[in-house]
Structure 1
Amino acid sequence: MNRRRFIAFSTSALMAIRTGNALPRKSLVPGAFPAEKTPAGHQADIALWQGVPPGGGGPTGSELLSASGGVSNVISPSLRVFSPAHPSGKAVLIAAGGGYKRIEMGKEAWPAARWLTQLGYTAYVLTYRLPAEGWNSGSMVALQDAQRALRIVRSREKYVSVLGFSAGGHLMGMAVTRADFRSYPEQDSLDRVKAYANRAALIYPIITLEKPYTHTSTHKVLVGPYASEKENAEWSVQNFVNSHTPPVFLVQAEDDPVSDPHNSLIMAAACKHDNVPVEMYRYSSGGHGFGMGRPGTPTVNWPARYRTWLSEG
C-alpha cells in the first residue's frame, strides 16, 4: 500500500464516505438483475485487433462459456455492443471481473449492459485476453486490450465512461490512470489517439497489489507469489492516479472477503490527494461479486446512485 497516500486520507475525507442510506422501496426489487447465461440484446461484435494481437501466442480451440456466463479461453479479444432504443449520446465500456482467470459476463457485464441500454447508454462489453492463457505479452495483454478498446469506443462516441467489476475494476483503473502509457506498439492510425475516459466507476475493485493485500487472484496472475515490492507497486492502481484522472465512483461492501475493503479507501485517498472528484459508497453487507446488487443486502442501492452520478457527467 502507498502509505503516504493512505495517511493523507484525512478524517474530514472519511466523513465524506457515503454509506448507502436506504432508497425508496421500489428500488429494492429482489432478483432485478439476475445472472444471464447468454448476452441477450446485443447488436454487434467488434474485433479489437486486425489479425494477431500484439505479441501473439494465446490459447487454442474455442472460447469457453460456463453455465453461469463465465468466459475463458479467449481466442479473439473483442467488444460486444449493446445499443439502446433511444440513444443518449453517451457510452459505457464495461469490464467484468474473474480474477484474470475468467470473465464473469453473466453475473456482471451483461446485466449491467442491459440496464444501461434501458437508460439510453450504448454499452460496450469488453472480452479481454487472460494473462495465464499463453499469450506472449504475459501480464500486459489485458491492459493492451483495454487501451485498444478505449480507442475504438472513442472513435465511435463523443462521451465515454468505464465500468469495471473486481479484477475488471483493476483493469479499468489501470487503463484510465495510465492513459499516456504505451502498452503495445502502434498497430494503425487509431493508436495515435489517447486512450482516455470521461468517468470511471469501479465496483468492488482490486486496487492495490502491495502488501498486505497480496492474497488475490489478480496478484497471483499478474505478478506471482514472489513479486518484488517494485513489481507490486507497478500494478497498483493508486500509484498512477494524477490530476488528469477522470472522476471516480467507488462501491464496496464492508464484508468483502476477496477485495479487502481497504481497496476502495486507498483509491479514494489517492483521488483526494490529487484533487480528483471521487464518490464512494460502502455497504455494510453484500460480500464480493454482487454485480448489480445482491438481493437482501444494501448493495441493491448502488445502481440508482450510479445512475445519478452518470447523469451528472
Structure 2
Amino acid sequence: MNRHHFLTGFAASLVTTTTGLSFAALPASQPLVIPLWTGTPPGGGGPHGNTMISSSGAQSNIAIPTLTILTPAVPNGHSVLIAGGGGYKRIQIGKESWPAARWLAARGYTAAILSYRLPGEGWRDHNLVSLQDAQRALRILRQREKRVSVLGFSAGGHLMGMAATRPGFRSYPVTDPLDELPATADSAALIYPVITLEKPYTHTSAHKLLVGAGASAAANAAWSVQNYVTPHSPPFFLVQAENDPLSDPHNTLMMSASCEQNGVPVAMHRYATGGHGFGMGKAGTPTAVWPEQYEKWLHQYA
C-alpha cells in the first residue's frame, strides 16, 4: 500500500488555517489526516515518492509527516499523541498506533497518530527530524484541546520521552505563528521504551540512527531521556516486560528512578513475560492488563 491509498478518503476532511492546522470534531469512524508542516519540513531533504506501508502496516519512506486524528463522538477534551515504534527505521502504525488510537477513541479521548520523519531517510536535519515532528504535533494539538498527553511504544517511547522532557528545546526555527505555542505534554505513557542510549545499552537501532557507532559519551547522554527529567516534567506511566529482548528492562528502571529523584509522579508496571512489541497487550501474558491500568492512570490527569 502506498501513501496515495493511505490518504484516499481523508483528503476532503483536510483543513488548513493561516496559523497552522485545525480539525473539527468528527465521528471516530472518519479519521482526518493533517500534514504537520504547511511547506517543506525544517531543513529540507528527505525521501521521494509515496509512503511505503508493509503488510503489517509499518510505515517508512515518509516524505510528508502527518497527524491522523481519530475524534470520538463525545470528546472529553483530552487528546493523546501516539508514536509507534520501529527503531526509527519504520513506524509500527498497524501493530501499535492504530490499536491504541481506537482504544482511546472508544473511551472519549481524541487520538492523534503521528507519522514522523525517520532520521535515516536523507533529511538534512538528520537526528532532529523525529523530535521536530513531535514538537510540531504537540503544538497543533495544543491549539485545539484542553489537555494533551503522549503515548509512545519502543523507539516511539524514546521520541515521546524526549518531547515530554524537553518542551523548551527549540529543535527547529519558527516557521509560522503556530510555532510560538508551547510543545508541552500533560502526562506521558512510555510502553517498552528505549530510554537511554548510554553504555552498556548501545545495541539498539535507535542508538545507531540517532548517534551512530562510536559516538561519544556526551552524544549518548544527550539523547538519553532520563537525563532530562526535572521537577517540572509531567507524570509518567511506564510499562515493560522483564524478558524484553530488545529494549533492556533497565530502561524503565532508570526512568522511574530519575522521576523519583526529581519528585515527578511515576507509575511503573513490569511483567514477568511478554517480550517486546506487545502493543495493547499480548493475550496469554501478563501484559494483557496494562491498558486497564493505563485507563485508570489517565483519569487522574483528565
Structure 2 CA distance for aligned equivalents of residues 57 and 245 of structure 1: 33
Q: In the alignment, which residue of structure 2 is the partner of 1:234?
A: 222
Q: What secondary structure, in the 3-state scheme, does the structure 1 residue paired with 2:173 have? A: coil
> For 1:147, which of 127, 135, 139 is the aligned residue?
135
Structure 1 CA distance for aligned equivalents of residues 117 and 144 of structure 2: 22
Structure 2 CA distance for aligned equivalents of residues 263 and 59 of structure 1: 32
After the TM superposition, which residues 156-305 of structure 1 pair with which residues of structure 2 at under 5 Å, given as runs?
156-305=144-293
Q: In the alignment, which residue of structure 2 is the partner of 1:50?
A: 38
8 A Cα contact 1:102 1:130, kept in partner: yes
> For 1:131, which of 89, 97, 119 is the aligned residue?
119
After the TM superposition, which residues 76-87 of structure 1 pair with which residues of structure 2 at under 5 Å, given as runs?
76-87=64-75
Change (3 A) 1:42 1:261: farther
Structure 2 CA distance for aligned equivalents of residues 271 and 153 of structure 1: 25
Structure 2 CA distance for aligned equivalents of residues 123 and 307 of structure 1: 14
> For 2:90, which of 96, 102, 106 is the aligned residue?
102
Show structure 1 runs of 5+ residues with no match: 1-37
Greater displacement, 272-281 / 86-95: 86-95
State the identity as a percent. Answer: 63
Structure 2 CA distance for aligned equivalents of residues 258 and 235 of structure 1: 18
* Counterpart residue type for residue 282 of structure 1: R
8 A Cα contact 2:130 2:159, kept in partner: yes
Quote the offset at 1:213 in angstroms: 0.3
Quote the offset at 1:189 in angstroms: 0.9
Q: In the alignment, which residue of structure 1 is the partner of 2:22?
A: none
Q: Deviations over 1:137-173 (max 9, x none)?
A: 0000000000000000001111011000000000000
Q: What secondary structure, in the 3-state scheme, does the structure 2 residue paired with 1:156 have? A: coil
RMSD of aligned residue pairs (Cα, Å): 1.1
Quote the offset at 1:42 in angstroms: 4.5
Q: What secondary structure, in the 3-state scheme, does the structure 1 residue paired with 2:143 have? A: helix
Structure 2 CA distance for aligned equivalents of residues 197 and 41 of structure 1: 26
Structure 1 CA distance for aligned equivalents of residues 160 and 29 of structure 2: 24
8 A Cα contact 2:142 2:182, kept in partner: no
Q: What secondary structure, in the 3-state scheme, does the structure 2 residue paired with 1:80 have? A: strand
Q: In the alignment, which residue of structure 2 is the partner of 1:17?
A: none
Q: In the alignment, which residue of structure 2 is the partner of 1:33?
A: none
Change (3 A) 1:147 1:169: same
* Counterpart residue type for residue 67 of structure 1: S
Quote the offset at 1:243 in angstroms: 1.1
Structure 1 CA distance for aligned equivalents of residues 30 and 97 of structure 2: 12
Q: Deviations over 1:216-268 (max 9, x none)?
A: 00001101111000000000000000011100000000000000000000000
> For 2:56, which of 62, 68, 78 is the aligned residue?
68
8 A Cα contact 1:42 1:80, kept in partner: no
* Counterpart residue type for residue 181 of structure 1: F
Quote the offset at 1:98 in angstroms: 0.2
Q: Deviations over 1:38-63 (max 9, x none)?
A: 89934211111011000000001110
Q: In the alignment, which residue of structure 1 is the partner of 2:14?
A: none
Structure 2 CA distance for aligned equivalents of residues 56 and 173 of structure 1: 25
Considering Cα pairs closer than 8 Å and 6+ residues apart, tell me whether 1 or 2 has the greater RCO.
Answer: 1
Q: Deviations over 1:58-88 (max 9, x none)?
A: 0011100001000000010010000112211
Q: Deviations over 1:167-202 (max 9, x none)?
A: 000000000100000000001111111100100000
TM-score normalised to structure 1 length? 0.87
Show structure 2 runs of 5+ residues with no match: 1-5, 8-27
Q: Deviations over 1:258-309 (max 9, x none)?
A: 0000000000011001000000000000000000001110000000000000
Q: In the alignment, which residue of structure 2 is the partner of 1:13?
A: none
Aligned length: 276
